[in-house]
Each structure stands twice: as C-alpha cells, then as structure tokens.
Amino acid sequence: MPATASDVAARTRRLPWIIGVVVALLPPLLYGAALHQRLGGDAERTAGALAAFLAREALVEPTLWTFAAPKLLATFERDSGAQLAQGLIAACGGAELAGTRRQVAAGPVRWRPVTAGLSVVGWVGVAVDAAPGHRRLAWLAVLSAMAGALLGVWLQRRPLAAIRHAAAHQRDLLRALDAAQLALQASNDELAQKITRATAANRALTERVVAVQEAERRRIALDLHDEVGQQLAALRLSLDAAAAETPSPALDSAVERCDATLEGLRRAVHDLRPLELDRRTLGGALRALAERIELASGLPVALRLEGDDLPASASATALLRICQEALNNAVRHAGATELALRLRVGPEQITLAICDDGSGADPTALAAGGGIAGMTERAQFLDGTIDIGPPAGAGSRGTCVRVVLPRPQEPGAEKND
C-alpha cells in the first residue's frame, strides 16, 4: 500500500530536530576540542620555557636554587610576561617548592622536567588561563543552539509541501501503473485467445491436409486397382489362353512376370491406402502390417500394445504411415534380423517406437533421405516429435524411431472422410 503524505511526515518528524541538535552541538564540541588542544600547547611551551629558565639557575646554584624557587617563579612571570593560571615547582621527591594559583579558569596542566646536566633536579607544572576561550565557547554554544533550533523548525515546516506533492505524484504514478497493468493483461488475454484460435485453425488445417492426402491416395489406389489392375488381369488371362493353345517357355515367363507385376501392384495399392484403418483400430492395423512384413521379408516382428487403442483418425493414419516407412527402411537398408513395434496410448499422448537390431542409423543418410523428411513432417503436422537414434540400453545396436503425438481430445473427432 503506498505511503501517504501524513505517513511520510510522521516517519520524518524527528529528523529535523535531530539535524538541529547536531547543528547545535557540533560546533561547540569541535571548538572545545580545538581550545583544549591549544591550551595544552600553550601550557606545554610555557612549561618548557620555565623548565629551561630553572635549569640555568640550577646549574649556577645547584643547592640554593630550590630555596629561591618562589622568587624564581615570580621573576619568570615578570620577565616572560606570562600570566600563569597555575604554576608549580616541585623537587624530585615530589615536595612542592613554589606555586601560583590564580582565581581564573585553568586549562590542562603540562609537566616538564628541570635538568642540571644529566640529572633531573625538579619538575614544573603549568596551566594557562582558559577564561577567554571558555567565554568564546559559551557564546558559540548559544549561537549554535539558536541556529540549530531555527534550522529544526525550518526543516520541520519546509518539506511538508514537497512531501505532499511527492505523495500526490506517487499516487498518480501508481494509478497509471495499475492502468498499464490492466491494459497489458487485456492485451495478453487477447493475444492468448488469438494464439488459441490460430492453433485450433492450424490443427484443423493440418487435419484437412491429412484428409486430402489420404483421399488422394485412395483415389490413386482405386485408379490403379480398377484400371491398371484390370488391364493386368486381362493380360494374364490372355497369356494363359495363349499358353494353353501354344505352350512355350516365353509365354510361361511372361505369365510369371505378369503375376509378379500384379503382386507388386497389390502391395502398392495397399501401401497407398491400407484397408485396415477403414475396418480396424490403429492396433489392428499395426498387427496386420507386422504380419504382412513378416510374410514379405521373413523377419520376425514383435508387437507390443499398451494402454487404450486408437480408432481411425489423422493421428492413427500418420502413425501408420510413419511405421510403414520405418519398417521398409529397416528391411531394405538396416540388415536387421528382427524388428519390434511398441505402441502406448496414454491419456494425454501417444508413443510409437519402431526398433531394429541392424547396422544403425547413418546421420548423413538420414538427413538426405526423403522418407525421413516425410516422417518428420507428418509428426510435426500433428504437433508431435520424432527422434531417430540407437535403442535405449547399454550395448544396444540398431536403430529406433520414436514418435510422440498428442492424443486427440475426443476419440473419432479427427476421423477422415
């Protein structure tokens, strides 16, 4: 929740007075520290001068100078013009020989030794008058206190208008931000709806493309069956009649070639439009395909079905076509000794794996092959993925084609015309 002007003012209420107290105390404290240092320095210099003066007297009168200490202290003050707030002369044993203590504010005391040759014969302690500095410090403290109080009042009153203005500007910015967020959310919702509609349209178009392809395959298959097939069948009958009237090896060879051509035509017609999908589910179509591959190639094909079965649909057609292409590649090019199909129809996706134990997939050949491209396009048309590589498991050899498609939401919704 944004802070209001009163909240900001309440939080900063003590700050002006803290600044005022700092302004009131800082100058006197700094001046007091400087004054104490200056008074100490003056006392240090005066004590040094007094110690030097007494040292000269101690050299002249090594014994008598202690008895004349009061007179010597007065002489030093007269000759040097120094007004000592406190001046003390003591012997080495600590007994005070002479002293001056005036009724003024004394600064810090500084002690220096009195030497006669290499021996210390006494000590002097000096403190200078601090009264003038204290008076200046008192005036500075009064002036600083007044300045701090005035500054605190000014700081307390002056920023309130700025705080209120800033709070109003903050509220305007927050309202603008809320409006921008609402507009962005609306734009995101509209974009999501457009994406959903585009995805649905793309899927419908994909299904239509698949349906058109299958319809064209059916038409070509029927044309081949009804025209080319009938012509080959008629030719077969004519060859049989000719061979019955005039037997010859050439006619027998022609009959065999005609039979092989008819068989090839039947396989081509079946591959163009497998009738199993019209009469069976995807599982039944795969079972019939496996049996036909076993009969044609002599290779065993292990089929494993898991989960639900899938009725005829665009997804079923695409999976059957991919399976046909993968099995034909394995039989023709892989040099495999056995094949395996695994279909799993789950609640959200369909997984089909076609594996062999052949020589393995060549990446260059995979990239150049049109059949691989066709399988990839069929999977992508239905928002699926396809992966071609070695089978899972250490030491496995061969190739495995794995296809994953999203399961149609309603069984039979994608059924071809």
Determine the Cα angle at 284 with ends 283 and 285, to 5°.
90
Predicted TM-score (pTM) above 0.75 = no
Percent of the chain with pLDDT over 70: 83
Average pLDDT over residues 317-336: 84
pLDDT digits (tens, 9 = 90+) for 76-123: 888 877 777 777 777 676 677 677 777 667 778 888 888 877 788 888
pLDDT at residue number 404 = 93
Domains defined along the chain, listed by start: 5-157 (3.30.450), 281-417 (3.30.565.10)
| CA 8 from centre of chain | 35
Residue 344 β-bridge partners: 306, 351
DSSP string, 253-309: HHHHHHHHHHHHHHHHHHHHS-THHHHS-HHHHHHHHHHHHHHHH---EEEEEEE--
pLDDT in the model for residue 415: 42
Residue 321 contacts residue 270 (beta carbons within 8 Å): no
Q: What pLDDT, on the 0 to 100 scale, is given for residue 395?
A: 57
Report residue 82: phi and psi, to 5°. Answer: -80, 135
Selected residue with higher pLDDT from 339 and 234: 339
